[in-house]
Amino acid sequence: MKVIVVDSQASAWDSFVQSAQYSTPYHQFKWKMVITKSFGHQCHYCGAIDRNEAWQGVLPLVHMRSKLFGNFLISVPFVNYGGLLYKRRFSRRSSAGRGRRTSVFLWSNAC
């Protein structure tokens, strides 16, 4: 499994999102442009791809900067839904739960 930063593969990203069980409209790639152009926040969209080049997970992240709260990453701010989206097979590989999967995604070499 490799983790990549997704900058220009909008159609592949959205195809995975549409096929995922718990996806929301806020997982779609177009939200990256909405957040960047409307609010000026830098986005880091990460994707997990297996050795067959099949998408196994996505994590849309937005870098927020605040004088009050500091610098932090959040998945899809300003909406109630978002976060890590993965295929069932990918989720079984990590038995430590969602937090572990998220940290693996974040602290990989790509992100």
Backbone angles phi, psi at 27, to 5 degrees: -80, -15
Domain with 79, as residue range(s), is 2-106
111 located within any domain: no
Scanning the structure block, which residue is given the tokens 């999967």? 101
72 located within any domain: yes
Q: Regarding predicted confidence, which is higher, 101 or 93?
A: 101
| pLDDT for residue 108 is more than 60 | no
Read off the amino acid at residue 61: L
Q: How many domains does the chain have?
A: 1
Calculate the CA 76 to chain-centre distance: 9
CATH of the domain at 89: 3.40.630.30
Q: Using an 8 Å Cβ cutoff, are 43 and 36 in contact? A: yes
pLDDT tens string 33-75:
889 898 888 888 888 888 999 999 999 988 888 889 888 888 8
